[in-house]
Amino acid sequence: MTQHSKEVTSLGNIYRRPVSEIMSRDVVSLSAGDTIHEALALMGENRVSALPVVNRHNQCVGILSTSDLVDMTRDVDDDIYHLDMVDPTTKRFLLDRLAHSMGTESVQSFMSEAVTKATPDTTIGKALREMLQNRIHHLPIINEDDSLMGIVSTMDILAEFADAAPR
């Protein structure tokens, strides 16, 4: 077998491996009642761009990503535009109030509820296809009780391909 054939075989094997081999198991999650401020703090502390939202049974009921937060800020663009018409002191006061009120909003108001999920035995290839088809970067991994077990990101999958690539 040539070196090229070995590399192709190695890459092909990645597609057939289960996501349980690459998923992050220590998942930081949110509850629907947490605030956006708490979510941002957790994202920053853990250097992640998405957090699964779980109910009291640890079942994944949503996901909050930086994309959801960007969408949230679009809603206030008009308000910010009109701030140019007030004096600087009032403008600062109103911006502070806006930032505070946005931070106290609940995660449930902005999370994506339609969550694509996978099981631990889902192949990396199938997970990758699901992520591409749904245009998502994070895939919660659940067990038969729908409880959150882990999460796979596009970076986790990319790392597998990078490890298999010729040096």
CB 65 within 8 A of CB 112: yes
Q: What CATH homologous superfamily does 3-164 map to? A: CBS-domain (3.10.580.10)
Ramachandran angles phi, psi of 114, nearest 5°: -85, 95
Tokens of 42: 């957790």
pLDDT of residue 136: 95
Name the nearest CA neighbour of 144 among 113, 117, 111. 117
List pLDDT tens digits, range 82-139: 555 656 676 565 555 555 556 678 999 989 999 999 999 999 999 999 999 999 999 9
Name the nearest CA neighbour of 157 among 143, 137, 141. 137
Name the nearest CA neighbour of 147 among 61, 60, 62. 60
CB 105 within 8 A of CB 35: yes
pLDDT of residue 9: 46
Tokens of 113: 């509820």
The pTM score is: 0.78
The amino acid that residue 2 corresponds to is: T
List pLDDT tens digits, range 34-66: 998 899 889 989 999 999 999 999 999 999 998
